[in-house]
Amino acid sequence: METTTLPKLYQYNVCPFCWKVKALLGYKKIPYESVEVHPLNKKEIKFSKEYRKVPIFVDKAGNQVNDSTPIMKYIDEKYGSPVFAKSGAEKDKEEKWLKWADATLVRALPPLIYRNLGDSLKAFDYITQQEKFNWFQQRTIKYSGAMVMTMVAKKSAKEQGIADPESHLKKCLSDWAEALGKEDYLGGKEPNGADLAVFGILKSIEELPAFRWIQENAKVWKWYQRVDQIALKAA
């Protein structure tokens, strides 16, 4: 692995896991190079023979870290003052919500984003414009992807026991609002790792119609804007 002048984040623009890492990098104001991976041939990550997903983080010394939460924890330890809780009840709470973000929140989104062919086409219109596709791929992937994802999302909703994707996401958001309590962030006066992970996941759908459910939950929406301001807008 080559050493580089800046740490690199190999990512897809529309990947919720990648946005978790970008939120932390932005919050800690860490300069990095973002490398958009081609979703079909993935040639940019050909150095990574075993692990074929994004995000992948490679630091200046060439150390490769895979998987969004381990990447966040690695970055937190190596760069600047820590954001993740160190120990005790705060750490337990943060871990609980980090797991919830990956196991529940991320999985709540596809059934809503791809809930019917019309919404799926809108989503793929956006996705194919964000990713490295050529003209032909953009069109074929838009239609085939939208059809496949509508079916996959239905199956995933069934497996998760989600009867109504809209109320399920609303319930997830009210659980998050309840976890925030009276504080500005889950971490209290400052965001912790779970704040940035949950924010990143929601940020990934900001341009999609499903984002309106985030804006409709007043408490979550205020929290979201606060995190956006300090993590990405001020970065």
Ligand X SMILES: N[C@@H](CCC(=O)N[C@@H](CS)C(=O)NCC(=O)O)C(=O)O
Residues engaged in binding ligand X (CB under 6 A): 12, 15, 17, 39, 53-55, 67-69
The residue with tokens 């075993």 is 50
Write down the least CB distance from residue 219 to ligand X, Å.
Answer: 26
Write down the least CB distance from residue 54 to ligand X, Å.
Answer: 4
Q: Are 9 and 33 in contact (CB under 8 A)?
A: yes
Write down the least CB distance from residue 42 to ligand X, Å.
Answer: 7
> Residues 208, 209, 214, 216: is their CA dihedral positive or negative?
positive
Nearer to ligand X, 203 or 217 (CB): 203
Residue 56: phi, psi to the nearest 5?
-125, 135
Nearer to ligand X, 201 or 217 (CB): 201
The residue with tokens 């079909």 is 40
Write down the least CB distance from residue 154 to ligand X, Å.
Answer: 19
**What is the separation, in whole angstroms, between the first and last Cα of the chain?**
28
Name the 3-class secondary structure at 10.
strand
Nearer to ligand X, 124 or 217 (CB): 124
Write down the least CB distance from residue 105 to ligand X, Å.
Answer: 12
Nearer to ligand X, 123 or 217 (CB): 123
Which segments of the chain are extended strands (E)?
Answer: 8-11, 33-36, 56-58, 64-66
Rounded CA gap, 83 and 43, in Å? 33
Nearer to ligand X, 196 or 217 (CB): 196
